[in-house]
Amino acid sequence: MKDPNWKKCLLCGNSKDIIKRIPNNSIDFILTDPPYNIGKHSTGNIPLPGRTAMNNDVADWDWVDFNPEEWVDDFIRILKPTGNLFIFTSYNQIGRWYNCLDHKFDTTNFMVWHKTNPAPKIFKAGFLNSCEMIFTCWNKKHTWNFISQAEMHNFLESPICMRPERLSDPKHPAQKPVSILKKMIEIASNKGDIIFDPFMGVGSTGVAALNLERRFIGVEIDNNYFQAAKKRIENLICNIDMNNNIAEEPSAVYQSVTGEINNFFNITETPEISQKELSFTSLQPIIKWAGGKEKELKYIIPNLPTFDRFFEPFVGGGSVFTAIKANEYYINDLSDELISLYKNIATKNQQFFSFAEAIDKSWLNAKRFFDENNYLVELYLKYRKSQITKAELKREIKSFCANNNKQITNILDESFLSLPSILEEEMDKNLFRKMSRMRDLELKKGDLPDKDIKDNIETAIKSALYMNYRFLYNDKNIKLNNDKLYCALFLFIRNYSYSGMFRYNDNGEFNVPYGGIAYNSKLMEKKINYYKSQSLKKHFDNTHIHNLDFEDFLRQTTPSENDFIFLDPPYDSEFSTYAQNEFTRTDQERLANFMINECRAKWMLIIKNTDFIYNLYNKPGINIRTFDKEYLVSFMNRNDKKVTHLLITNY
């Protein structure tokens, strides 16, 4: 039975791993201050005339390559429907938080914390860093404790954290004042609610939460900061309990992160997985892929058997392959494009990386082209004011593209100049189409803000560049004669097509449009750097890559009883295709027959539940469990659909 005075759960470790152990819909308020990625912009020591140089570096942890996109799914999973999410962030990250969270919540907004005593600037060049942004998200029926309109301003003001509150050992450069944190906690939660901070630092959020009679879960990876946070929070609890004549909380010791979290939530029947916590990596999937199993790792990891070698006949985006530790890996997929990408990463093929980097560079060039041609915005404003007709707009755009042909061509890297191009043609077409639609929309709903006009015109330019690369991707000569370029185009298309969809017309040509405004700021640089990383290279050093039918792959590699096979086949449907390859019910039967009757290894299969699939595997010696997978696909509005999935094993 959980002790009624249990108020906090403090964990030292990687929150990316720990968050996967937190139950679904269990957190009332996520209030956190993740890395800002500004460490790389620090200038080191600043020389001062006649004085000791001033150090301008931030902490080492802010050099971490922090990607907001990697946290969103787990934040949403653990947050209650009535919960709120507040994230301290910086100018270089707020757009990324917006892009990956705005469409998943009913409302997103931001707050500004104005620091009344910011650090001074030695030289009078630029502005003081006196404001910090807080990105906020919530759904309908969320907790909101305002008393008056005066409290509803999205502007908070206070000094930065100063002594005696500010710690000197260890000194945390981003320590927030408890008063600001308390204000947000009061607004966005109630007494007894659970506050979660996955980047706890020295524990200020926990101090604020416990002072306001909330409960707190905090995670911190740096042991020095963790020990400081633990000391602050435990001293606070002791003082509160003494003042209230309540016994101190029990000093129970748990053997694993799972044990600590289970005790906090009073979970008694979750299988112990402390040994299996060592069986997964912190690597990310290789690529976004339909049906990827990153969200299902919370079901997969606890149910892994012990094994030597890992086999995956339908590797897809690699969510499971990259997450699991094994002595040796055997991966396979029927998609030759996908396997080409895996092989180029594994061999660190320089030609492939050069093409991918050239494409990424052109994306920046397209933004520069837009910035240097404000004429396009001015042209649209003339059209809005009826100073030119639609026909004249079309002629002006065509003339602009013809006169700026060289500048348009220079968006592309030199390595692409000898290839066929439709960039100018698409630029002409997309600019006219976008401006026409913008005006039609304005006539119905009112004038667009200046920023929306600029965003839409930039989208038209980047859509033209996307269409040029899509045109090259559909060029059969490139596929046959330049496989490294084709693989780089495949990587680009996978990242920038609308909703990551892959769809082909009757001629076998890929026909999904550009993803739109939300994709304008995307770059592949971080993904490319990840592909080149030593940690991923080490993973691939022990990996054998195949491009075969699943049965041929399993027969050739002959997994034994000491091995493990993870299976993520295409779902059972009337029209089942897999990366342009048909996967029929006959194939489903062939797979089930082989795994049940011929396979010697331990295996796990995850698939959508249908009567057909259930009957295939409902056999003696086969264990079938179910779970609900939540799809969050948003087009015009939010649409949640739960589908029961099967987790099937032969052990």
Q: What is the rounded CA–CA span in Å between residue 186 and residue 406?
A: 58
pLDDT surpassing 80 at residue 279? no
Least confident of 170-179, 488-497, 550-559: 170-179
CB atoms within 10 A of CB 407: 14
Provide the residue range defining the domain that includes 144: 8-264
Q: State whether 64 and 196 are in the same domain.
A: yes
Q: Are residues 28 and 168 in the same domain?
A: yes
Higher pLDDT, 476 or 81: 476
Number of domains in the chain: 3
77 located within any domain: yes
Residue 2 lies in a domain: no
- Segment (H or E) for 45: strand 45-48
- ∠ CA 507-340-521 to the nearest 5 degrees? 80
CATH number for the domain including 44? 3.40.50.150
- Are 239 and 207 within 8 A, CB to CB? no
Q: Based on the domain organization, do 24 and 85 belong to the same domain?
A: yes
pLDDT score recorded for residue 560? 97
Tell me the pLDDT band of 136, cut-offs 50, 70 and 90: very high
Residue 87: the pLDDT is: 94
Strand partners of residue 581: 578
Closest to 495 measured CA to CA, from 315, 345, 317, 639: 317
The pLDDT tens digits for 159-183 are 888 888 888 888 888 889 999 999 9
> Model confidence at 593, in pLDDT bands (50, 70, 90)?
very high
Q: Is the pLDDT of residue 341 over 60?
A: yes
Same domain? For 149 and 219 the reply is yes
Is 508 within a domain?
A: yes
Q: Which amino acid is at 447?
A: D
Verify that 568 and 496 share a domain, yes or no.
Answer: no
Which of 238, 264, 290 is the last residue before a domain boundary?
264
Q: How confident is the model at residue 5 (pLDDT cuts 50, 70, 90)?
A: very low
> Residue 199 pLDDT more than 70?
yes
Give the model's confidence band at 639: pLDDT under 50 very low, under 70 low, under 90 confident, else very high. very low
Q: Is residue 272 part of a domain?
A: no
Q: How confident is the model over 389-431, as pLDDT tens digits?
A: 999 999 999 999 999 999 999 999 999 999 999 999 999 999 9
More confident site: 50 or 13: 13
Rounded-to-integer distance, Cα 436 and Cα 439, Å: 5
**pLDDT for position 524:** 95
- Using an 8 Å Cβ cutoff, are 296 and 287 in contact? no
Domain boundary among 240, 264, 288: 264
Asked if residue 293 belongs to a domain, the reply is yes
Quick: pLDDT tens for 17-49: 899 889 888 999 999 999 876 554 444 555 555
In the predicted structure, residue 271 carries a pLDDT above the cut 50: no
Tell me whether residue 574 is in a domain: yes
- Asked if 355 and 329 sit in the same domain, the reply is no
Beta strand residue intervals within 100-190, DSSP E: 107-115, 131-138, 155-158
pLDDT confidence band for 248 (50 / 70 / 90): very low
Is 600 a residue whose pLDDT tops 50? yes
Whether 15 and 86 map to the same domain: the answer is: yes
In a domain, 270, yes or no: no
378 contacts 457 by C-beta, under 8 angstroms: no
CA distance 518 to 42: 28
- Last residue of some domain: 237, 264, 291? 264
Q: Using 50, 70 and 90 to split pLDDT, how confident is the model at 157?
A: confident
CB atoms within 10 A of CB 31: 24
Q: How many CA atoms lie within 13 A of 361 on its CB side?
A: 13
Global confidence as pTM: 0.61
Note whether 59 and 189 are same-domain residues.
yes
Q: How large is the C-alpha radius of gyration of the chain?
A: 27
